[in-house]
Amino acid sequence: MTLLAKLKDVAARSPWLYRINAGSCNGCDVELATTALIPRYDVERLGCVYCGSPRHADIVLITGPLTKHVLAAAQRVYAEIPDPKVTVAVGVCPISGGIFRESYAICAPIDQYFPVDVNVPGCPPRPPAIIAGVAKAIAIWRSRL
């Protein structure tokens, strides 16, 4: 097995997660913290770990309805994430705009601005739903390696 094949094999087992808050009320962010901190819903069981830099991420989790104020910054951060990347829309706000969809300040749905691979609906989505969405994202990410 070549060194590159070994590296791809190791990387396939350990995707890193990065979260972009695109203007959320923090309800989804609290649930994401639950998936990171509480052993019952721990995403590390899936081999994932949250990272602090988009340049190290493999899977990006986007929360919030994507406000016009945040749009340019979110696009810059998203562009820093190396390919192959998988995008997960967490909560109803990034999927449709949620209760904010009629607002002049909202750019929703986010799939107009970012390619979304997995949707995790809910307001906020429960930790088991987030874990299931991350599991789908991992399968997509591995297929792209």
Q: Classify burial at 5, counting beta carbons within 10 Å of its beta carbon; exposed 0-12, middle 13-18, buried 19 or more.
A: exposed
How far is CA 88 from its chain centroid? Answer: 4
Residue 20 maps to a domain: yes
What tens digit of pLDDT does each residue of 65-106 get? 999 999 999 999 999 999 999 999 999 999 999 999 899 999
This prediction has a pTM of 0.89
How far is CA 126 from its chain centroid? Answer: 15
Residue 9 maps to a domain: no
Q: Are 48 and 58 in contact (CB under 8 A)?
A: no
pLDDT over 70, % of the chain: 91
Q: Average pLDDT of 51-68?
A: 95
Q: Average pLDDT of 109-126?
A: 96
What tens digit of pLDDT does each residue of 14-36 get? 899 999 999 989 999 999 988 87
Query: Residue 8: its pLDDT value, please?
Result: 53
| Residue linked to tokens 């739903």 | 129
Residue 43 maps to a domain: yes
Say how far apart CA 58 and CA 46 lie, in whole Å. 14
Domain range enclosing 105: 15-128
Query: Residue 13: its pLDDT value, please?
Result: 67
* Residue environment code for 80-94, b if the CB has 16+ CB neighbours within 10 A, otherwise e: ebeeebbbbbbbbbb
Eight-class DSSP state of 15? -
Q: Is the pLDDT of residue 53 over 70?
A: yes
Q: Is the pLDDT of residue 5 over 80?
A: no
Query: Residue 1: its pLDDT value, please?
Result: 59
Residue 58 maps to a domain: yes
Alpha helices in the chain (DSSP H): 3-12, 27-37, 68-80, 92-96, 127-144
Residue 74 maps to a domain: yes
* Number of separate domains in the chain: 1
Task: Report the CATH number at residue 49.
Answer: 3.40.50.12280
Residue 33 maps to a domain: yes
